[in-house]
Structure 1
Amino acid sequence: MAIPTPSAASAARRPTPEPLPAPVRRVYAVQLISAVTDGAVLATVVLYFSTRVGLPAASIGLVLALAAGCALVTAPFLGAVADRAGRRRAAVAHSLLIGAALTVYLVADDLWTYAVGAVVFVVAQAGAGAVRHALVASYVGPERRVRARAHMHSLLNAGLGAGTVVGAVVLAVDSRSAFLSVYACGAVVALVCAALLHGLPRAADGRPAPRTGGGRFRAGTGALRDRRLVTVTAATALLQLYMPVLSLILPVWVSTRTEAPMWVCAVALGLNTVVVLVLQTPWAARVRTDRGAARSAVVAGAALLLACGLFGAAPLGGPFGAAAVVLVGIVLLTLGEVAAGPSAWHLALRRAPADLQTQYQAVFGMAGALARILGSALVLPLVLSQGTPGWWVLGAVTAAAAGVLALLARRGGRTG
């Protein structure tokens, strides 16, 4: 008779991972295919409306800032409405609004029509993300929420990467019909997503959020009154400054202050996507306790600080030296992104009340919108005016934000 080896015995004792429920797999599919649309739209929309429609670049920037502000302000309210009216219904509604916004892009030929489409698109996109995360969280236990959120994040990055490739092809073709085909296909994809979400079980709507005095439900204040959630969201907004660094600040810095070739920026985006896809879910699987969240936050702060230092040093080298420094910095920046996410998700969402899932997801999602606003309004001018010291200031801010998360985790997520 064969005697089991220690490794075989330990493998036999290891619990088999519980299969994902079918509704979660459906939401994962929606997350991926909708992210492809988002990537293609984001890669083309500014150039389309500036070069083909003829809108001033400054006006487009103001519209995008207005849209981000609207998404930020409406997030708690839309989360409360979703918890009250039903998450499945809200997810379907947001997908339909995204399709409507892309349809507006097809016919927009002036600033005001474009502004309507852009505001609806950005607000609906933010709302859709919060509801999808809430749908997944309602089907998995608290101990699996961080890993599920990480998988959603990986799918988002994969879809955005694929969509960016589609956008690059459209930009290379550079014809009006190519641009419009992106928005037409995007509208169709939004309808498909709405149909997939409508096919979820009615139980996915969840229990209605509780009412308070006077029969009125808590319009977002249930989550906003949670000091731990608000603190984590604020710290996460500072950590997520890596998003405008990657998409806006670093390309401007590389093109105006270094000798690195411009292809470095495209390679940086691809490298970021690959590293996130490889590391995000395994890393999140290791963050199961407050102590693990604290360690992850410390790694994130150190990595982001070093990345900013390298970006600041890039002008000191020649073309190849600067390119190498930037790419090493991108690896560190992405490691910071991978480590920051699970720490923040653990602290903000693991203990979210079941009947307020979408409110919590929506309030936490405000961090991304706030990071984008801060990145374009404050960080870009800081880096361009101060140069290398500006990068170190940015690194210190992100490291301090990571320190706040680590401190909260060490205290068990309490704010006092």
Structure 2
Amino acid sequence: MTGVLPAPGPLRPLALATLLSRIGNGLLMTVSVLYFSRIVGLSVAQIGLGLTVAGLFGLLSAVPFGHLADRRGPRTLFVVLSIVLCGLSLLYLLVENFWQFLVVSVVLTIVDRGAGAVRVALIAAVTQGAGRVAARAYLRAITNIGITAGAGIAVFALHFDTATAYRLMFVLDAGLSVVAALVVLAVPRVAPQPKSDGGPVWIALRDRGYLAVAALNAGMSIHYAVLDVAIPLWVVDHTDAPRWTVALLLGINTVVVALFQVRSSRGIADPASAAKATRTAGLLLLASMALFAGAAGGGVIVAVALLAVGALVQVIGELLQSSGSFLLGFDLADDRAQGQYQGVWNTSMSISTMLAPTVLALLPLGLGVPGWLILGVWFAGIGILFVPVVRWAAARKPQPALV
């Protein structure tokens, strides 16, 4: 990749498709809860329960859809699933009660998690070696930019606060998603993996080394929810920092990821270097959790300074951890079953996303300063474990022919 745009090739249409679809994601992330509560009339508890149940069902879809991508080819399958998602998202506009909301959420989440695994399989199919890590890093930076832009557009709906304004955001998201899906057709078609006559089908689920690394990665990835879940309540209820500090910390994270995610992936070229980068990330996350904890003991200036420095240290750790994760998810997988393996990796990340709010509620928000320190030690301990576990997983990477 050179400059702002990636080099000519399949990554360019993937980048444009990612930007368009993530703008749509930013729209819905900003307005969806308000729409279902203020316009449809669901309670916050009903919305939370519906999304949680949908998330549980979504855990079941990534591996089967990833396997289907191996058998049918990921590009066309991803386009089909993306268009199906557009139609499903518009069904939200017909929801009038909790049970309708639950059904639509479950079906949409199942397809969405499956499409996510197929997308990563497509990236794996059209990139090679270190280029895969750079591609994922570039697309993650684009993701942050798109979600931020979508949230900015959604401010108009929040300003008018009408059913029509909110529904327009759903329609705009669907339109952007359709265009994004069609853009992906510019990516060269990927041939399906050949099927052999013997051996187990679900090889990714039998690969203990890969499963162990995916589990460690899920435990480390809890840090992604710190700024969204723990920091707003910590700043308001436990420090003297003004409320606008929350926006400052989110801004630091967003800008740094957009500017430096690609650069942070350089030098991460094999499982060993990815594991070492993750180990460093764990230590940085420990330092950032200690800084967040320290903000409770100072005045306004000290609290803002410690929180800002903590956010900067955390995002540096995040850059290293995410870049290491990109390589390990690809490199430890059998290339002849990338869809299946990426389904496992995505499932582990989904589990992390589901568990993170509970962990943060029990530790930093429940225990205060000791909870922050326990969480930091958790990240550092997992980071240290990455080096030997990745070495073991790489040594036993499966080599036999794919079924």
Same-fold status (TM-score > 0.5): yes
Counterpart of 1:197 in structure 2 is 184
Residue 257 of structure 1 and its aligned partner are, at CA, apart by 2.0
Counterpart of 2:267 in structure 1 is 286
The 1:279/1:62 distance shift into structure 2, 3 A limit, reads: same
Counterpart of 1:71 in structure 2 is 58
Task: Indicate yes or no: 2:330 matched with 1:349.
Answer: yes
CA RMSD between the two structures: 2.2
Task: Indicate yes or no: 2:253 matched with 1:272.
Answer: yes
Task: Indicate yes or no: 2:365 matched with 1:378.
Answer: no
**Could you tell me how far apart the structure 2 residues matched to 1:26 and 1:98 are?**
19
Whether the aligned pair in 1 keeps the contact of 2:232 and 2:246 (CA below 8 Å) is: yes
48, 53, 60: which one pairs with 2:35? 48
Whether the aligned pair in 2 keeps the contact of 1:238 and 1:401 (CA below 8 Å) is: yes
1:87-124 deviation per Cα after TM superposition (whole angstroms, max 9, x unaligned): 12220122123212320122212112222332333333
Q: Which amino acid aligns with 1:70?
A: F
Q: Which amino acid aligns with 1:342?
A: S
Identity percentage of aligned residues: 32
Counterpart of 1:183 in structure 2 is 170
Q: 5 Å matches for 1:30-179?
A: 30-179=17-166
The 1:122/1:322 distance shift into structure 2, 3 A limit, reads: farther
| Structure 1 counterpart SS, 2:363 | helix
199, 208, 218: which one pairs with 2:193? 208
Whether the aligned pair in 2 keeps the contact of 1:276 and 1:338 (CA below 8 Å) is: yes
Counterpart of 1:222 in structure 2 is 203
Whether the aligned pair in 2 keeps the contact of 1:209 and 1:356 (CA below 8 Å) is: no
Q: Which amino acid aligns with 1:210?
A: K
Whether the aligned pair in 2 keeps the contact of 1:298 and 1:402 (CA below 8 Å) is: yes
Which stretch of structure 1 is more off in the superposition, 231-240 or 312-321?
A: 312-321
Task: Indicate yes or no: 2:312 matched with 1:331.
Answer: yes
**Could you tell me how far apart the structure 2 residues matched to 1:229 and 1:391 are?**
29
**Could you tell me how far apart the structure 2 residues matched to 1:321 and 1:47 are?**
35
Q: Which amino acid aligns with 1:152?
A: L
**Could you tell me how far apart the structure 1 residues matched to 2:349 and 2:150 are?**
20
The 1:172/1:414 distance shift into structure 2, 3 A limit, reads: farther
Whether the aligned pair in 2 keeps the contact of 1:302 and 1:399 (CA below 8 Å) is: yes
Q: Which amino acid aligns with 1:151?
A: Y
Which stretch of structure 1 is more off in the superposition, 352-361 or 42-51?
A: 352-361
**Could you tell me how far apart the structure 2 residues matched to 1:213 and 1:290 are?**
30
Q: Which amino acid aligns with 2:311?
A: I
Whether the aligned pair in 2 keeps the contact of 1:37 and 1:163 (CA below 8 Å) is: yes
Residue 279 of structure 1 and its aligned partner are, at CA, apart by 1.6
Whether the aligned pair in 2 keeps the contact of 1:240 and 1:367 (CA below 8 Å) is: no
The 1:86/1:320 distance shift into structure 2, 3 A limit, reads: same
Whether the aligned pair in 1 keeps the contact of 2:364 and 2:372 (CA below 8 Å) is: yes
Q: Which amino acid aligns with 1:185?
A: L
Count matched residues.
392
The 1:231/1:54 distance shift into structure 2, 3 A limit, reads: same
**Could you tell me how far apart the structure 2 residues matched to 1:147 and 1:235 are?**
22
Residue 37 of structure 1 and its aligned partner are, at CA, apart by 0.9
| Structure 2 counterpart SS, 1:67 | helix
The 1:294/1:22 distance shift into structure 2, 3 A limit, reads: closer
| Structure 1 counterpart SS, 2:192 | coil
Q: Which amino acid aligns with 2:263?
A: P
Residue 405 of structure 1 and its aligned partner are, at CA, apart by 1.7
Gaps of 5+ in 1: 1-18
Q: TM-score, normalised by structure 2?
A: 0.90
Counterpart of 1:250 in structure 2 is 231
Counterpart of 2:285 in structure 1 is 304
Which stretch of structure 1 is more off in the superposition, 141-150 or 272-281?
A: 141-150
Q: TM-score, normalised by structure 1?
A: 0.88
Whether the aligned pair in 1 keeps the contact of 2:63 and 2:117 (CA below 8 Å) is: no
Residue 295 of structure 1 and its aligned partner are, at CA, apart by 2.8
Residue 274 of structure 1 and its aligned partner are, at CA, apart by 0.9
Whether the aligned pair in 2 keeps the contact of 1:238 and 1:371 (CA below 8 Å) is: yes
Counterpart of 1:320 in structure 2 is 301
| Structure 1 counterpart SS, 2:10 | helix
Q: Which amino acid aligns with 1:207?
A: P
Counterpart of 2:16 in structure 1 is 29
**Could you tell me how far apart the structure 2 residues matched to 1:156 and 1:122 are?**
19
Whether the aligned pair in 2 keeps the contact of 1:21 and 1:139 (CA below 8 Å) is: no
The 1:117/1:299 distance shift into structure 2, 3 A limit, reads: same
